[in-house]
Amino acid sequence: MSASLAGVLDKRQDISRRVQVLLGQMTLVEKIGQMSQVEAGHGYAPEYLGDGLRAGLIGSVINVVDVEVLNELQRIAVEESRLGVPLLIGRDVIHGFKTVFPIPLGQAACWNPKLVEQGARVAALEAAKSGVNWTFAPMVDISRDARWGRIAESFGECVLLTSELGAAMVRGFQGDDLSANGSIAACAKHFAGYGAVESGRDYATTNIPDTKLRNVYFQPFKAAVDAGVSTLMTSFSDLNGIPATGNSYILKDVLRGEWAFEGLVVSDWDSVRQLQIHGLTENDLESAYEASTAGVDMEMAGDAYSNHLFNLVEEGRVGEASIDESVTNILRVKFELGLFDNPYTDPGSLPEFASKHALQVAQEAALQSVVLLKNDHGALPFAADELSSVAIVGPLADARYEQLGTWIFDGDEELSITPLQAIRTLVGNDVELRYVRAMENSRSRVNDEFDSAVDAANESDAVLLFLGEESILSGEAHSRADIGLPGDQVELVRRIRATGKPIVAVILAGRPLTLSDIVDEVDAILYAWHPGTMGGPALADLVFGVASPSGKLPTTFPRVVGQIPIYYSQKNGGKPPSKETVVHIDEIDTFAPQTSLGMSAFHLDTCFTPLFPFGHGLSYAWFAYENIRVSSNEVELGEKVVISVDLSNRGAIEAEEVVQLYTRDLVASITRPVKELKAFRRVRLRAGETQTVSFELHTDELAFYGRDGKLTVEPGLFYIWIGGSSDAEQRTEFRVTKHH
């Protein structure tokens, strides 16, 4: 390296100074090289990428996890290029690396930011051991359509829950010091509104008014930025007619201008060139112009930048100052990661894959993620000393790969412990297990084994039915129009129900499913999502009462797909439904006149309520909420109010409850949701114990973006609830007043 670049290596200089020294030495070609990320997953990458690295034409590589190969790529970039700029090594580390955690939607069901942070930390250490220094997670898209395959990667429908868990995942990946061994850069995606794609079809268009963007879809990204996230990724979809990858309003006005984000913005996979397919541009040159001037710093896996940015600058259409801004953002992240000081990975300096600690965290995450949806007649937990035999039936009881879920490129299937394996280990010879797969996979309509399943049920004291979706049925580009149990699973449930034996359904899936066909056919339902490597031991412990379920739904479960979108924080409307106003299709008189008098917002052919509400989740204990109260009936703007409730465990076992606080702003300058989650806390109580649970709420937490696009808190009356779901009944109120 030349003497003029000494400032780059001088750690006494701050990062901004080091970036400017390096930037000042770069040619335009080298700057554009930093803005290009290339796919490196085919063959021996140093052979076909070596020349580009030596010429400074590559700023990042994606999709290679061989640490020796990555160290060689770094060596070429650092030691054989003119300026020695190290590489960002990107990989989708979504819910674990070798050790797989529950899908993000399952982690959201834990309602436990600390546990999510611990899981991301484990994933970061394992990914870093392989040479990865940049992950494309967390996905913080608000997701209110269960048909969308990528709801599996989300934290669900709630602004607050998604914001808190997204920030926690950022902290887990990046740690306290991004340059520390084992820390990797996080990437909040997909900015913005991707979860609102029409009809739940991946990549489809989105139309979101600005007030909704600001009050809902922007919020988790703002929380990630506040948590220090290093990078953001743009959405594939268009937003109000302008694809996100070419949308200067969200990238420049909001992200850079209002939020002062200084990190790196990367496109999604080839989404720069896709601006032409959207119909925004005529060709790749125009796509490169639109994306770069909108504020996309790096192009992922396409070549519009590398082929056309130089000419755009030479022609004067793109200023070199704009290129400098993008390269500054990229170099800053590389310096913050410490890559200029230590570009190489020493795998021996990091924990082993699937360490004891990693598996413990994965099992705890799986345990807390499972939601007990129903439990009639105390069907669960099973008592091993009272059962002589259990039939274990279904295609997902012993499916190592399927329980890992979507987007697990590096997950080790051999590490998976299935429910069947774990139950065998737990009960030993005390309980006879009769296992019948019954279906080849979750989509199968071949029912040749159903008779064997019925026989096993008849011969057993109880039945565990493992149902749901294979992993391939959710994730990117895996949207579904019908989100019922696929294949012949409903018929299997009905055949087993005819035996009269107690039935517990354990459902593994990447999304909420419509369960109306089976909800009354089974005695209990454990919703396990795709629980990851340690899903089996977690489920075994729950089924046999070693632990009590404590998960809560991060998304509303519709009765039928036609209710979508259905979510807890909907608006009231002018004619909200109630038991008194709803008319069912079989109640309509043939000769009744059409009228809107007394009518309300509902579907004729289903109930207006969901099957299971947001925040719902039962326990083997019984928690009672009583005596909700506020510290003051009036609170001035800028002040705090304390809301308390008495929580009692009236069950026979110690257990955890997720206590949830909701508010409603009754009158505002724009209509407000009927409920908004404002706080939550996990509370563990012994049997018979009562504890006062208190939340401190600042009036700033009641703020919203109004008609003028500005954040405001308006005086007025607020309802407040505390309970175990969004259907909480304990309600009080307080009034926010102006300063006297």
CATH number of domain containing 665: 2.60.40.10
729 in the same domain as 590: no
Retrieve residue 557's tokens: 């479960």
Q: Using alpha carbons, list the distances in angstroms from residue 550 to 111, 163, 242, 468.
A: 9, 21, 42, 20
Q: Does residue 511 fall inside a structural domain?
A: yes
* Residues 402 and 507 occupy one common structural domain: yes
Q: SS3 of 703, please? A: coil
> Which CATH number do you get for residue 435?
3.40.50.1700
Q: Does a structural domain hold residue 61?
A: no
Contact indicator for 399, 509 with CB cutoff of 8 Å: no
The phi and psi torsions of 644 (rounded to 5 degrees) equal: -130, 155
Q: Which amino acid is at 379?
A: A
What's the CA gap between 26 and 126, in Å, rounded? Answer: 34
- Residue 416 · residue 401 · CB < 8 Å: yes
Instruction: Measure the CA–CA gap between 388 and 670, rounded to whole angstroms.
Output: 61
End-to-end alpha carbon distance in the chain: 66
- What's the rounded Cα separation, in Å, for the pair 614 and 728? 11
Give the pLDDT score at 176. 96
| C-alpha gyration radius of the chain | 27
Cα separation, 26 vs 324, whole angstroms: 10
| Residue 668 shares a structural domain with residue 722 | yes
Active site residue 410: no
Domain that holds residue 707: 623-737
What kind and span of H or E run contains 119?
helix 113-129
Q: Name the 3-class secondary structure at 66.
A: coil
Report how far residue 234's alpha carbon sits from residue 268's, in angstroms, rounded to the nearest whole number: 6
Number of domains present in the structure of the chain: 3
- Three-state DSSP class for residue 723: strand
Same domain (yes/no): 605, 640: no
pLDDT score for 7: 61
| 581 domain-assigned | yes
Domain closes at, from 527, 543, 559:
543
Residue 312 domain-assigned (yes or no): no
Residues 535 and 632 in one domain: no
Q: Which of 92, 141, 268, 665 is catalytic?
A: 268
pLDDT of residue 587: 78
Classify residue 228 as left (phi > 0), alpha (psi -120 to 50) or beta. left
Reported residue count of the chain is 740
The reply to whether 436 falls in a domain is yes
Report the b/e string of 505-522 with b at 16+ CB within 10 A. Answer: bbbbbbbbbbbebbbebb
What predicted TM-score, i.e. pTM, was given to this entire model?
0.97
Tell me the backbone φ, ψ of residue 266, rounded to 5 degrees. -115, 145
Q: Please indicate, yes or no, if residue 97 is contained in any of the structural domains.
A: no
Give me the torsion for CA of 340, 120, 269, 84, rounded to 10°. Answer: 10
Residue 403 Cα distances to 126, 233, 418, 693, 729, angstroms: 20, 28, 8, 36, 36
Do 409 and 538 belong together in one domain? yes
Residues 672, 584 share a domain: no
For residue 257, what are the contacts with CB-CB under 8 A and spacing of at least 6? none
* Ramachandran sector of residue 354 (left: φ over 0; alpha: ψ -120 to 50; beta: rest): left
Segments in the chain below pLDDT 70 = 1-9, 11-12, 592, 740
Same domain, yes or no, for 388 and 495?
A: yes
496 and 634 share one domain: no
391 and 421 both lie in a single domain: yes
Residue 588 pLDDT: 77
Tell me the C-alpha distance between 350 and 129, whole Å: 6
- The residues that bridge with 659 in the sheet, in sequence order, are 681
pLDDT for 682 equals 98
Backbone region of residue 573 per phi and psi (left: phi > 0; alpha: psi in -120 to 50; beta: other values):
left
In a domain, 640, yes or no: yes
Percentage helix, strand, coil for the chain under 3-state DSSP, each rounded to 5:
35, 20, 45
Query: Domain check: are 521 and 462 in the same one?
Result: yes
* Residue 528 counted as domain residue: yes
Domain boundary among 609, 631, 658: 609
> Is the C-alpha dihedral spanning 334, 335, 336, 339 positive or negative?
positive
Question: What is the pLDDT at residue 596?
Answer: 76
Q: Are residues 661 and 729 in the same domain?
A: yes
